[in-house]
Amino acid sequence: MSPTQSAFTDTLISRTIRERIVLVGVTFPHGSPTATGAGLDELALLVDTAGADVVERIVQRRDRPDPATYVGKGKAEELLSVCLAVDADTVVFDDELSPAQQRNLEKILGRTAIDRTAVILDIFAQNARTPEGKAQVELALLRYRLPRLRGRGTSLSQQAGGIGTRGPGETQLEVDRRRLVRRMTRLESDLRRLDATRRTQRRTRGRSRHRTVSLVGYTNAGKSTLLNRLCDADVLVENRLFSTLDPRTRQLALPGGETVLLTDTVGFVRKLPHQVVEAFRSTLEVVCESDLIVHVVDGSAPDLEGQISAVRTVLAEIGADGLPEMLVVNKVDALGTAGPDAEEDVARLLAAHEGSITMSARTGVGIPEMLTAMGDRLRVADRVVELEIPWARGDVLAAVHREGEIVCEVAGEETTRIQVVLDDVGKARFREFVAS
């Protein structure tokens, strides 16, 4: 084998070697072992998506986090023994670690210690595709890393020579921090320009007077599959977490004849890092401006109510919690393989949330009913207006048919009386023909 072939083979082998991860979860008095276990299950999926393997789990009960190591010195030393036994490369905690806790743990463990936030940011960095998505992810990463910068602090660099410049110079840590802040400022400026462009696009869509509907939900709930099914959008679909980060908007014709703008958004997750919410705030503003939120739920997931609660927590954080919401339970075709209690869980969910429906974005089951329900929910916010239009004004009659949805039309001797669903712009346009 030639040296070139050997180097190529070594590269392939190094790419196939996955990190060995130990997961750590802590149950506090306000939590429960079941919730801790569910959090670790999800963290294991996140770790797998990031490209690593979970080799062991450690669970602990505590009254409060230890300020120095989060789990306490004794548990940290026990964790070291476990890492040595399973030959772990990294330890991942299900809760966020402070910079000091992270440093102390790495000193004790002799290996990398990170938290759930770092794993999520790593996945986002892998999946960002567009310039805006990449900038948002980089900004979130820098915000996370800034307080975690570390260095010896003793390596000094003289800035210049001569009178007035002698003495201690600037530490490397200060140089790194200044560079990060400068880069963050540049990214924030770039995102403001991209946000201005996005706002212009939304204003253009607003002038088209189409209603807007946003697909929100837990990551991997099937939002992108649903968008592809409804609009033939050709959006990337993978059975993995956070495969879609960039929003996609497509036109959708509802059974009543009206056309809406349907937008797929980034998926949410429990304990979604605050840095991510802040960095993606401009992208998530499209949700805040929606006429209807279609909340997609994975019916085959083990904790339906927990996922719904996590999504609504993020919606409240971005100011979209007061918008009309329609709950759609997806993946009903997978209930048979999701466990013996899956169908009962879905039945309880439907009973607890009035107006929710079931469907399968993969097979198309329930899609017509979902579209009908979507149109009905949008019409709730509208008001039926009765117009009286003279026969001589055929141009107005044609315009009314174009503008709104006709509910009833009765022809008289000199006029036509029409009951039509109109938005605020349409009501203002035809106000002189409103029947008294």
Question: For the chain, how big is the Rg over CA atoms in Å?
Answer: 28
Distance (Å, whole) CA 254 – CA 265:
20
Q: Identify which has the larger pLDDT, 14 or 61.
A: 61
Q: 3-state secondary structure string, 211-255?
A: EEEEEEEECCCCHHHHHHHHHCCCCCCCCCCCCCCCCEEEEEECC
Q: Identify which has the larger pLDDT, 417 or 238.
A: 417
Residue 160's pLDDT is what? 47
Residue 354's pLDDT is what? 86
Instruction: Determine the average pLDDT of the residues in 408-422.
Output: 84
Q: Hey, CA dihedral for 310, 316, 320, 325, is it positive or negative?
A: positive
What DSSP string describes 326-373? EEEEE-GGGGGGS-TTHHHHHHHHHHHSTT-EE--TTT-TTHHHHHHH
Residue 13: pLDDT above 60?
Answer: no
Query: Which of 146-150, 213-217, 392-396 holds the top average pLDDT?
Result: 213-217
Pair 110, 87: CB distance under 8 Å? no
Give residue-wise pLDDT tens across range 290-340: 889 999 999 888 888 888 998 998 888 888 888 889 999 999 888 877 677
Residue 244's pLDDT is what? 67
Phi first, then psi: what are they for 102, rounded to 5°?
A: -65, -45
Residue 412: pLDDT above 70?
Answer: yes
Distance (Å, whole) CA 241 – CA 272:
13
Q: Are strands 325-330 and 292-298 parallel, antiparallel or unpaired?
A: parallel
* Sole residue written with tokens 């999926």: 45
pLDDT band at 24 (very low <50, low <70, confident <90, very high): very high
Residue 28's pLDDT is what? 93
Residue (of 25, 114, 36, 31) closest to 71 by Cα position: 25
Query: Which of 6-20, 154-168, 251-265 holds the top average pLDDT?
Result: 251-265
pLDDT band at 14 (very low <50, low <70, confident <90, very high): very low
Distance (Å, whole) CA 70 – CA 169:
35
Q: Is 25 exposed, middle or buried, given 0-12, 13-18 or 19+ CB atoms closer than 10 A? A: buried
Residue 325's pLDDT is what? 92
Residue (of 398, 377, 236, 414) closest to 406 by Cα position: 398
Residue 302's pLDDT is what? 80
Percent of the chain at pLDDT > 90 equals 28
Pair 292, 324: CB distance under 8 Å? yes
Residue 259: pLDDT above 90?
Answer: no
